[in-house]
Structure 1
């Protein structure tokens, strides 16, 4: 690339390398920054470089390609990859939105010949995604000279670096955009690949109407192939990813796309908070006179895993099972009528049978009750035993913790969910991680971020009783020394000036209560305060679970210690990974808190800037530059 720029006389074009996309771990290989030769305005070219020499396209989906890496895994088509990267950059960087022609994108296969990657040229190109190979160097040089003047690109480069990105769209934001044209998310990499692969399958299995109503227009051969008689094996999709990998984003995008086509799709979950929040958002879109209809459609559109016990086989077109790690062994519970009890029938089988196309989205480290069994291996084996074809897709990206994959790995090591012992946190410039000296200091910091307009919450391990309200007042159950605060409102209760338990994560009044794992799971907020209770102690070089300190009613005497250990560690894994911008920790146990101090260098300090009143701020080189500059 450098040689090509020099040959074109563009030696003053600024080249940014590995440009991170806002809020995620994804990065564009190169962004060329300069002046447009005709207008003199800032202009940019995003370039995704590929070393591949051969490539083939998966016949099932035009954006799933084998790039010859030998790992047996399909990758996202390079053109679609750079198109999505550009769309994402335009969405979050205001400077790029000032002119629709400001940013172009290319995929440059600099080792490949046209004939060896011929199938890649079938995907339509756009201003955000053109394909070039070694045979296209002259054409690529013409693109460069048409986009860039022989002038300094420093101003354009600085403008991009200093551009403050828009806030990350959260799960609830995507849900609110379900019926909005141009809404939703710009899915990236494995997210996009999974979405398009499933959408292609749905397009082929849908009854042909004679006109294109979907994402892809099947050709006549494909229509005949679908219509032809043959073995009818159901295909089950499992999307596995860590916290913030975009599982719920894919689920809601599928629901939004299918709803726009008029196809029947249902989103199911085992989380009360998640389901009721989505229902509430759906009801909020009601126009005058539509409230009853919206309420009924919300009940039908967003359902619980245990509501499919009596559903006829294949009666639902597409069933999207989000938070599938919360699947239970069976749908039988204490309120199940005697005639409907069937402890031997797995809940997952009910879901697979109910839908023509079942889709499961899960994280193997987020089951938080002893009877939750929704791991990818469990679902795959169960589906195959029932004659289904199974496709497992791993979502590798992260859209939390400033896009820090390092933070995700650090949390797993901290809790012993990885392959090594806890290690010190090494700042990566993306995630703010700090330790508070007291619960009072933690709360003061979180409330300060809340008053600045950020979303901010405090959660804690389930180590204190959870009382019903005392009349119209919440009980201060969470007590640490002289500091005491209430849990979020208990389900089926209401208290003035406090949100319902299922809305605690999304209602700004939730900052006044302490949340637990059951109200925090699935959701995210900018600033994440976590109180590690006495159920997690640092002893003998590792963090260990102290069962006796837990007040979770799910841990009855019949539950084995190993099951309790798994659930407590997974619960803290959930709590520690809710933060989009930063996380602040405090541990009740002194030895545990000292260990956090040893592992984490970040601190909270009092600062006074520009004559304003002093306030608590995150301190140290661990704080990402964007936060230090803009938030102080």
Structure 2
């Protein structure tokens, strides 16, 4: 279990007070210089102007307020990372409550804005006047969600109920210039303070902190157990639990709220509680289509499930569709497995209705579905025609996306432009926008920029895209960032042993491979060891059309513990995640002359028949490995079958696997590298 939190810098208010001075002839405070050095060391890149200005202008306001209140010993944590994500809280103050003496914490979101305009369509979307034309999440709602997220994932805060509070501090703004921001309800996790409210802000500080040292409270937070990241399947299981589901952050929360409020204004049946903005939309307006675009681990599927849960709680019909059999069948299994005795049949029928496939809407009447949430929309196909399509519809060349747009009153698509893995999959934001606008619909594209996978490492996501030639630059050496562990195995046997060891230690762990080996039907009730590399061999996961004793079905391979005994293919791994991710790069992807090239002849994917152009095959193979390499939450271990490719990866991946002896026990394979992720270190203690 990973420990607590990581911070950029932690000092007492008194220590910071000595650093907020500006040396003669310098435009920067001593604190700003120290933070800039720390940022470069931790992130291996210079701090941006926004960070520099915030450190130089915003932090001193809080420090001076603490000192003015006699709270010199309160500990200030600067840039506190939220577990499992790339988001961070600007400041967390740690101290002792003046009344009870218990640990007390205040999370602060600092904003330098002087003006604010609220989007009339969505009161939690605001323009803070920075000139980039993009709305941001309301600062009060932002800190409220950050506090809720911290309580969910940091055990010390959850075990000490009421110890955490939050505020948004707009220290440059006057009340009249941000008047619209005050309309959002405040609570203990988020209240708004401006330049006109500094006296009130100081009273908040004295109500939460006494003069005692905050070092023990800060240490308790740093040493607190960090809960594992909720997987997609966890979110699905908690859909009916009060307080369950995902704590959405930043643009994720804003996107869901935007869609829900659109439905509040336009729902013709009045099933939703209509809010203050019912007059914004007029009858007969054009259909609005929402496209939510994000990379691996950006929370697309969790957002889809949370949106469906939120709408269901408002008695609004919401159907979730996908092109993935594994994803759809897993969601159905989760739902009907919770049925009470004698209600299994009803639960199965309900699960089959609310979780469907993209090709289920060929005969749907226009606007017959309230909200149709199309997850994994990058798997959208050109048409819905397949081998079981009725003869009268077989020649219908209508785009599959057009059927979905027609069937839903409010269509929502969630996708990644780099995850289409079959030749006939066409789902990109550009394709859907052009099609929808051509049909006369309004389109709103929302980018989900955060990441909830790979330890919140944006660097790892960028590295994978560069490695596979999906980015704008050539492959580069992986620089460990303390969030995501990347290792190279020397053999498939070593990779398997390491993944199994992770599984025995309580992690979820799976092995996957490129589609470079045949996929046989079971023989005499047993899986065939098709994936063979030298003397090493393992079977693929069970085919979707078969079942095998003591092995999970294809749909459940990623979530059933028995899945660790097989090698998964991209079709069963897509959408899901697990803590440790083992990836075998087959001979269909070769590293030559400084970059990866696709070797079509080595692929065994039956989708790549002779009629498929080479450029389509290259796209699908690269995207398939993009999927496989981005399933890991804690770490990823790679092995390449081709010797030249394996040799090249040794130069790009510094982390390895080695035998280590822990406390004189039997030596075992463990991760070796310059920076092991805390989540893995803790399991070794």
TM-score range, shorter chain: over 0.9
Q: Which residue of 2 aligns with 1:121?
A: 182
| From 207, 210, 218, the counterpart of 2:275 | 218
Aligned length: 624
- The CA distance in 1 between the partners of 2:305 and 2:609, in whole Å, is 35
Aligned residue for 2:93, secondary structure, equals: strand
Q: Which residue of 2 aligns with 1:178?
A: 239
| From 602, 605, 627, the counterpart of 2:658 | 605
Aligned residue for 1:37, secondary structure, equals: coil
Q: Which residue of 1 aligns with 2:533?
A: 480
Specify whether residues 188 and 225 from structure 1 end up closer, same or farther in structure 2 by C-alpha distance, changes over 3 A only: closer
| From 76, 79, 94, the counterpart of 2:155 | 94
The 10-residue stretch of structure 1 (138-147 or 621-630) with the greater mean CA deviation from structure 2: 621-630
Aligned residue for 1:63, secondary structure, equals: strand
- The CA distance in 2 between the partners of 1:179 and 1:511, in whole Å, is 29
Deviation at 1:419, TM superposition (A): 0.4
Aligned residue for 1:62, secondary structure, equals: strand
Q: Which residue of 1 aligns with 2:446?
A: 393
Q: Which residue of 2 aligns with 1:39?
A: 100
Contact 2:381 2:424 in 1 (8 A): yes
Deviation at 1:298, TM superposition (A): 1.0
| From 238, 243, 257, the counterpart of 2:310 | 257
Aligned residue for 2:366, secondary structure, equals: coil
What's the TM-score once normalised by structure 2's chain length?
0.90
The 10-residue stretch of structure 1 (571-580 or 342-351) with the greater mean CA deviation from structure 2: 342-351
Question: Does 2:462 correspond to 1:405?
Answer: no
- The CA distance in 1 between the partners of 2:373 and 2:234, in whole Å, is 19
Question: Does 2:618 correspond to 1:565?
Answer: yes
Q: Which residue of 2 aligns with 1:508?
A: 561
Q: Which residue of 1 aligns with 2:343?
A: 290
Contact 2:324 2:376 in 1 (8 A): yes
Q: Which residue of 2 aligns with 1:631?
A: 684
Q: Which residue of 2 aligns with 1:524?
A: 577
Aligned residue for 2:122, secondary structure, equals: coil
Deviation at 1:224, TM superposition (A): 5.1
Question: Does 2:461 correspond to 1:421?
Answer: no
- The CA distance in 1 between the partners of 2:102 and 2:259, in whole Å, is 41
Contact 1:330 1:342 in 2 (8 A): no
Deviation at 1:94, TM superposition (A): 0.8
- The CA distance in 1 between the partners of 2:72 and 2:683, in whole Å, is 33
Question: Does 2:249 correspond to 1:196?
Answer: no
Question: Does 2:196 correspond to 1:135?
Answer: yes
Deviation at 1:159, TM superposition (A): 0.8
- The CA distance in 1 between the partners of 2:127 and 2:583, in whole Å, is 42
- The CA distance in 2 between the partners of 1:9 and 1:184, in whole Å, is 41
Superposition RMSD in Å: 1.2
Deviation at 1:130, TM superposition (A): 0.7
Question: Does 2:410 correspond to 1:357?
Answer: yes
- The CA distance in 1 between the partners of 2:669 and 2:683, in whole Å, is 15
- The CA distance in 2 between the partners of 1:191 and 1:466, in whole Å, is 39
Deviation at 1:261, TM superposition (A): 2.1
- The CA distance in 1 between the partners of 2:379 and 2:429, in whole Å, is 12
Runs of 4+ in 1 over 6 A off after TM superposition: none
Deviation at 1:446, TM superposition (A): 0.4
Deviation by residue 1:440-481 (Cα, 9 ceiling, x = unmatched): 110000001111111000000000000000021100000000
Aligned residue for 1:538, secondary structure, equals: strand
- The CA distance in 2 between the partners of 1:116 and 1:540, in whole Å, is 58
Aligned residue for 1:416, secondary structure, equals: coil
Q: Which residue of 2 aligns with 1:51?
A: 112
Contact 1:433 1:622 in 2 (8 A): no
- The CA distance in 1 between the partners of 2:507 and 2:568, in whole Å, is 17
Question: Does 2:511 correspond to 1:493?
Answer: no
Q: Which residue of 1 aligns with 2:76?
A: 15
The 10-residue stretch of structure 1 (610-619 or 400-409) with the greater mean CA deviation from structure 2: 610-619
- The CA distance in 2 between the partners of 1:54 and 1:68, in whole Å, is 6
| From 486, 501, 506, the counterpart of 1:433 | 486
What's the TM-score once normalised by structure 1's chain length?
0.97
- The CA distance in 2 between the partners of 1:223 and 1:451, in whole Å, is 55
Contact 2:318 2:354 in 1 (8 A): yes
Question: Does 2:675 correspond to 1:622?
Answer: yes
Deviation at 1:620, TM superposition (A): 2.2
- The CA distance in 1 between the partners of 2:106 and 2:212, in whole Å, is 15
Mapping for residues 365-376 of structure 1, pairs under 5 Å: 365-376=418-429
Deviation at 1:612, TM superposition (A): 2.8
Contact 2:117 2:178 in 1 (8 A): yes
Deviation at 1:627, TM superposition (A): 2.5
Contact 1:208 1:223 in 2 (8 A): no
Deviation at 1:343, TM superposition (A): 4.5
Q: Which residue of 1 aligns with 2:143?
A: 82
| From 229, 234, 238, the counterpart of 1:168 | 229
| From 634, 638, 647, the counterpart of 1:581 | 634
Q: Which residue of 2 aligns with 1:154?
A: 215
Deviation at 1:607, TM superposition (A): 1.6
Specify whether residues 339 and 247 from structure 1 end up closer, same or farther in structure 2 by C-alpha distance, changes over 3 A only: same
Question: Does 2:164 correspond to 1:107?
Answer: no
Specify whether residues 206 and 514 from structure 1 end up closer, same or farther in structure 2 by C-alpha distance, changes over 3 A only: same
Deviation at 1:217, TM superposition (A): 4.7
Deviation by residue 1:265-299 (Cα, 9 ceiling, x = unmatched): 10000001000100111110110111111111111
Deviation by residue 1:518-566 (Cα, 9 ceiling, x = unmatched): 0000000000000000000000110110000000000000000000000
Deviation at 1:8, TM superposition (A): 1.5
Deviation at 1:314, TM superposition (A): 0.1
Deviation at 1:45, TM superposition (A): 0.4
Deviation at 1:208, TM superposition (A): 5.9
Q: Which residue of 2 aligns with 1:449?
A: 502
| From 266, 288, 302, the counterpart of 1:205 | 266
Unaligned runs of 5+ in 2: 1-61
Mapping for residues 231-380 of structure 1, pairs under 5 Å: 231-380=284-433
